[in-house]
Amino acid sequence: MTTDVPRLRPLPLQCQAMLAICSDLDETPDRRVYAEIARFLNTAQTTAMGQGVDLEVGNTIYFDMPPGQFAYWNTDDAGREMVRSLIRSGHVDCLHSFGDLATTREHAKRAIDELSRHDCRLECWVDHASAPTNVGADIMHGSGDVPGSPAYHTDLTCDFGIRFVWRGRVTSVIGQDRPPSWRGVFTIRHPVASTRTIAKEFAKHILARRGNNKYAMHGPNEILRPVTLRDGQPAYEFIRCNPYWGRVDGADTAAGLAEVLTPRFLNRLTQRQGVCILYTHLGKVRDPAKPFDKPTVDVLRHLADMAHRGEILVTTTRRALGFCLARRQIRFQSDCAEGCCTIRIATRNGTMHHGPSDLDGLTFYVDDPGRTRLFIDNAEVPNLLRHPPDSSGRRSVSLPWRRLVFPGL
Ligand SMILES: [Zn+2]
């Protein structure tokens, strides 16, 4: 009998797509709204919007902001303690610049010292508006990675742990790490505007193919790429998506989410078996007492149904990027005979930049899950998951996906 060689399944477990809702905290009114949104998204607890949807969704944080906006230095001790708990649990996973009022290296240093002192680490950076500490040159006009500039900080920030950076790039294409496709954005309800959005996206793609730097990521449609910051440090840049028919930033608020996270979008994403880091601002709310209106709650409940059925894996930006990097860099050997397979993954060969938890959910198609063993660096995985055939008709084994544990707020 012949045995097929095990192959890596591109997506975790048996899911058909991976989604991170990557929300910039802009205009979040106060710590109560910040907490209520986090509880609604990440738990099944009772909240102002009804029972939570029990997904895994991160958030961002910044430090120096004008009064009236939730930020680390603006909130009180209880707010800061909450943010730190959420950073430690992985539910705050992105630094959203150091804030509009952080103009110098000293501002950055004060924030990093504070987090380090409390044993809080962040690995993702997301540029914000026109913050001087931004690291994007072309779209975000930052100077945070330019040595000698007043706001230079990336030597400190990368040392602190930042390695994934978002520098302003947003696409309308549904599903990254798949060949470019512009389907799913056009809507007959708004034929002119949606055609314009697609035309813009297509133009970026063509510019990319002609060597344009600004839109280079729109060419291959990859979720991340290795880059060198202007101070010479290596990082991975990622692209976010907002497939709204109007324009990428036309529905990037809590209410706008209802127009974006539609069943049509989710169906297209799963059909494409793509990855999406969704660009939005969930703290831009109409009513602080009830941050999400009913239409937004409804689309999130629909997403939760798909997630709980295992069709789509919803996780934080950091975890989605870690998985995407791991699946790109993973090297394994397999040894199969008469239906029995041993798969060996080596993580200590110095070429990988992901951490151990980034292998969570890693899945291999195999002939006989019951007769497959998986080793990581010579240690056998004791709790291997074994799956029946997925939609491709192939059976598989997976490393378990460990949910983040939401802290008591
Ligand atoms: Zn922002």
The CATH number linked to 107 is: 3.20.110
Domain endpoint, select from 260, 295, 318: 318
Q: Edge-to-edge strands of the sheet including 170-171?
A: 170-171, 240-241, 275-280, 17-23, 312-314
Whether the per-residue pLDDT at 26 is higher than 80: the answer is: yes
326 & 299 share domain: no
332 & 286 share domain: no
pLDDT of residue 371: 96
Helices first, then strands: H and E counts in the chain: 9, 21
The chain-wide mean pLDDT, for the chain, equals 94
Which residue shows structure tokens 């919803």? Answer: 314
Ligand 1 center to 233 CA (angstroms): 24
Ligand 1 center to 12 CA (angstroms): 30
299 & 344 share domain: no
Structural domain includes residue 2: no
Whether the per-residue pLDDT at 129 is higher than 60: the answer is: yes
pLDDT of residue 357: 86
Greater confidence (318 vs 351) lies with 318
Structural domain includes residue 27: yes
Greater confidence (246 vs 120) lies with 120
Q: How far apart are CA 288 and CA 49, in angstroms?
A: 11
Structural domain includes residue 10: no
377 & 310 share domain: no
Residue 15 binned pLDDT confidence (cut-offs 50, 70, 90) = very high
CB distance 73 to 108 below 8 Å: no
Q: What angle do CA 120, 165, 277 make, to 5 degrees?
A: 95
Q: Please give the share of the chain, as a percent, with pLDDT higher than 90.
A: 84
Domain of 391 in residue numbering reads as 322-398
Q: Which amino acid is at 383?
A: N
Spell out the residues 6+ positions from residue 18 whose beta carbon is closer than 8 angstroms to its own. 11, 12, 274, 275, 276, 312, 313, 314, 315, 320, 323, 324
132 & 177 share domain: yes
Structural domain includes residue 281: yes
120 & 221 share domain: yes
Q: How many domains does the chain have?
A: 2
Ligand 1 center to 384 CA (angstroms): 40
Q: Which amino acid is at 209?
A: R
309 & 326 share domain: no
210 & 330 share domain: no
Structural domain includes residue 293: yes
Ligand 1 center to 96 CA (angstroms): 6
162 & 305 share domain: yes
Whether the per-residue pLDDT at 2 is higher than 90: the answer is: no
226 & 367 share domain: no
pLDDT of residue 183: 86
Structural domain includes residue 37: yes
Whether the per-residue pLDDT at 85 is higher than 80: the answer is: yes
Structural domain includes residue 368: yes
Ligand 1 center to 133 CA (angstroms): 12
How far, in Å, are 206, 231, 287, 298, 368 from residue 52 at the CA level? Answer: 42, 43, 18, 12, 38
Whether the per-residue pLDDT at 77 is higher than 60: the answer is: yes
DSSP assignments along 177-207, one per residue: SS----TT---TTSHHHHHHHHHHHHHHHHH
What is the arithmetic mean of pLDDT over 189-202? 88
Q: How far apart are CA 364 and CA 95, in angstroms?
A: 33
Ligand 1 center to 216 CA (angstroms): 23
Whether the per-residue pLDDT at 336 is higher than 70: the answer is: yes
CB distance 194 to 248 below 8 Å: no
How far, in Å, are 31, 100, 316, 355 from residue 57 at the CA level? Answer: 17, 25, 5, 20
What is the arithmetic mean of pLDDT over 245-258? 88
Ligand 1 center to 171 CA (angstroms): 17
pLDDT of residue 409: 83
Ligand 1 center to 378 CA (angstroms): 44
pLDDT of residue 354: 65
Whether the per-residue pLDDT at 244 is higher than 90: the answer is: no
Ligand 1 center to 66 CA (angstroms): 13
Ligand 1 center to 327 CA (angstroms): 29
Q: What angle do CA 131, 135, 141 make, to 5 degrees?
A: 55
Ligand 1 center to 109 CA (angstroms): 20
Domain endpoint, select from 318, 352, 370: 318
Ligand 1 center to 320 CA (angstroms): 20
Ligand 1 center to 33 CA (angstroms): 17
Per-residue pLDDT tens over the stretch 344-382: 998 876 555 666 689 999 999 999 999 999 999 889 999
72 & 119 share domain: yes
332 & 353 share domain: yes
The pTM for the full model equals: 0.96
Domain endpoint, select from 285, 318, 351: 318
Instruction: State the virtual CA torsion across 227, 315, 297, 409 in degrees, nearest 10.
Output: -110
